[in-house]
């Protein structure tokens, strides 16, 4: 309850009141336990000497990626790619934009895409096509959250943190109109508020 109050107080700095947070879906402790388990599974699957090239998809994955790589024991290198797929609010535009590409080539290297959430699957579908064309030695994906009922295109995920219902979630990197990314837990906004003008 304390965390919810802090969010509301901090949010009034803008001219528009923040949408109400309904429930906490996963606490910080639950997330950390799940992230550690995912890291163990990735470590167990990656048994080659080649460093795993971890590709975080910004912005949403930055918190998850930071925790996941620190829980992993396998050698790794890190890069980020910036993708935009949503309008500034609760609904998806359906369009994918590559705003920043990887810094290094991935040909012949094992690659792990790290996503915060897979919703329609369009972002991941696009990323798979773009990165596969660069001939990595392997291409796997870890996502913290997945909404299987929302899937519109094929987007296989190798490591899933939590499968969730079709609810608008924020926190732990996920935003609503750029708010709430800093929350250590994952919370639900219900109903989704319209985007600010």
Applying CB under 6 A, the residues found at the interface with ligand PRP are: 57, 59-60, 83-86, 92, 115-123, 175
Q: How far apart are CA 28 and CA 172, in angstroms?
A: 8
Of 11 and 51, CB closest to ligand PRP:
11
Q: Which is nearer to ligand PRP, 74 or 187 (CB)?
A: 187
Q: How far is the CB of 75 from ligand PRP (least distance, A)?
A: 26
Catalytic pick among 15, 67, 119, 166: 119
Chain residue whose CB lies nearest ligand PRP? 60
119 catalytic residue (yes or no): yes
Q: How far is the CB of 167 from ligand PRP (least distance, A)?
A: 14
Min CB(31)–ligand PRP separation in Å? 16
- In the complex with ligand PRP, which residue's Cβ is closer, 109 or 180? 180
Residues assigned a catalytic role: 119
């Amino acid at each position: 309850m304390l965390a919810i109050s802090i969010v509301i107080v901090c949010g009034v700095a803008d001219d528009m009141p923040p949408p109400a947070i309904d429930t906490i879906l996963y606490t910080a402790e639950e997330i950390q336990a799940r992230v550690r388990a995912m890291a163990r599974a990735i470590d167990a699957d990656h048994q080659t000497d080649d460093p795993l090239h971890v590709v975080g998809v910004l912005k949403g994955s930055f918190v998850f990626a930071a925790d996941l790589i620190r829980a992993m024991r396998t050698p790794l290198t890190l890069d980020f790619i910036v993708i935009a797929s949503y309008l500034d609010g609760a609904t998806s535009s359906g369009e994918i934009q590559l705003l920043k590409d990887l810094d290094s080539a991935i040909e012949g290297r094992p690659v792990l895409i790290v996503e915060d959430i897979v919703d329609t699957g369009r972002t991941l579908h696009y990323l798979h096509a773009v990165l596969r064309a660069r001939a990595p030695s392997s291409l796997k994906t870890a996502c913290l959250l997945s909404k299987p009922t929302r899937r519109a295109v094929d987007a296989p995920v190798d490591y899933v943190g939590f499968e969730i219902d079709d609810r608008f979630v924020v926190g732990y990197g996920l935003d609503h109109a750029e708010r709430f990314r800093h929350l250590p837990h994952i919370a639900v906004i219900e109903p989704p508020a319209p985007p600010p003008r």
